Amino acid sequence: MADLADRPEAEQVEILRAVAVDAAASFGLDVVRLEPVLVAYNATFRVDEGARSWALRVLVGSHSDASHVAAQQAWQLALAAEADVLVPVPRRTTEGAWQASVRSQPAAGERLVTAAGWLAGDDVGTFDPSVASALGATMARMHDHAEGWSAPAGSSVPEYRDALFGDAPALLDARVLTTAARDVLRRSLEIADAAHARVHAADAPRILHADLHAGNLKRAGSEVAVFDFDDAALAVPALDLAIAAFYGDTSDIRTALDAGYRSVRALPDVDPADLEALVAGRQLLLANDMLGSATASLRAQGEGYLLRAVARLEAWLATGRFSRSVA
């Protein structure tokens, strides 16, 4: 029997839909309709239950275990209650757990599933200066709150201290690489990892979202709502800013992001070259993840994406400024 990652995407969706249906029962949901929203690193389904809707997330490519999920859900609740941050409100199972565990042979064994209220509003999709400013302020409130928050007993939070977040550098073994391209990746990893070490030595780690891009935001009037806490980890605030800057890499968007952040708290005291290395580190992480993705369509794009990443990283090494506009 083929592994889940090797099946056609339409077949994956149907297998994961069956997992979501079983999980919905564990959360005590009276399902009227259950539809896939996004199948990528994880699989998100919208469940309509009369007048209410929920997001069910089946963990597929996630590194999160049950203890990580418990910390993610607890922090979301605390942010909503204490930090004036708009987030999905998590739902427990009928037995009081933060996640359902569904065993499925076609889905390659046990799958964890989380549930949270469906966020109203339109998906942001792409950055503009107004969204970047709102995100900067929201991010700063999250960082303020994180300084005094700790994970509850029985939960845990991973820590990110390098560009690949602890993963092995699979991208260096890609067959498509020339010797020169592999050298670009090695040098980029060395510089990004050294920058991570310096910023961590200079600041206190606290829980971060660590995936604040426009695809994880919804519009809420003049504010933004934040979802997808699957990558939440202990790190330093500069990492969140660098990740957002990777996706909004024009000068006007970066300026608006910083201004929004400064409206709440001071920007992290980080050498600009180190911050740029953290931005470049996001490129390394994404290229590495795509090559090993559990989603067939992403994995198929992996080698082409890696070559674009090499071109962008080569330009960064030459100029000191990372930009996704490099083809």
Q: What is the number of H-type helices and E-type strands within the chain?
A: 9, 9
Domain ranges of the chain: 4-117, 129-319
Q: Would you state the structure tokens that stand for residue 286, as one six-digit string?
A: 């994404």
The dihedral region occupied by 130, where left means phi > 0, alpha psi between -120 and 50, and beta the remainder, is alpha
Cα separations (Å) of 177 from 142, 193, 281?
39, 21, 19
Q: Return the closest-CA partner of residue 39 out of 12, 3, 63.
A: 12
* CATH number for the domain formed by residue range(s) 129-319: 3.90.1200.10
Domain 4-117 CATH assignment equals 3.30.930.10: no
**4-117 and 129-319: same fold?**
no
Cα–Cα distance measured from residue 224 to residue 135, given in angstroms and rounded to the nearest whole number: 6
Residue 1: what pLDDT? 43
Report, in angstroms and rounded to the nearest whole number, the Rg of the chain calculated over CA atoms: 20
Report pLDDT for 62: 85
- Residue whose pair of structure tokens reads 């067959």 in the numeric block: 175
DSSP calls for 2-70: --GGGS-HHHHHHHHHHHHHHHHHHTT---SEEEEEEESSSEEEEEEETTEEEEEEE-SS----HHHHH
pLDDT tens sequence for the chain (327 residues): 456 666 667 788 888 999 999 999 999 999 999 999 988 778 999 999 988 999 999 998 788 999 999 999 999 999 999 998 999 999 999 999 999 999 876 656 789 999 999 998 899 988 999 999 999 999 999 999 999 999 999 999 999 999 999 999 999 999 999 999 999 999 999 999 999 999 999 999 999 999 999 999 999 888 999 999 999 999 999 999 999 999 998 999 999 999 999 999 999 999 999 999 999 999 999 999 888 765 666 667 788 999 999 999 999 999 999 999 987
What are the start-end ranges of the H helices in 250-301?
251-262, 272-291, 296-300
Residues in CB range of 243: below 8 A, 6 or more apart: 210, 211, 212, 213, 278, 279, 282
Q: Are 279 and 242 in contact (CB under 8 A)?
A: yes
Query: How do strand 233-235 and strand 100-104 relate by DSSP bridges?
Result: unpaired
Among candidate residues 32, 31, 38, the one with its CA nearest the CA of residue 16: 38
The pLDDT value recorded for residue 108 is 65
| pTM of the entire predicted model | 0.92
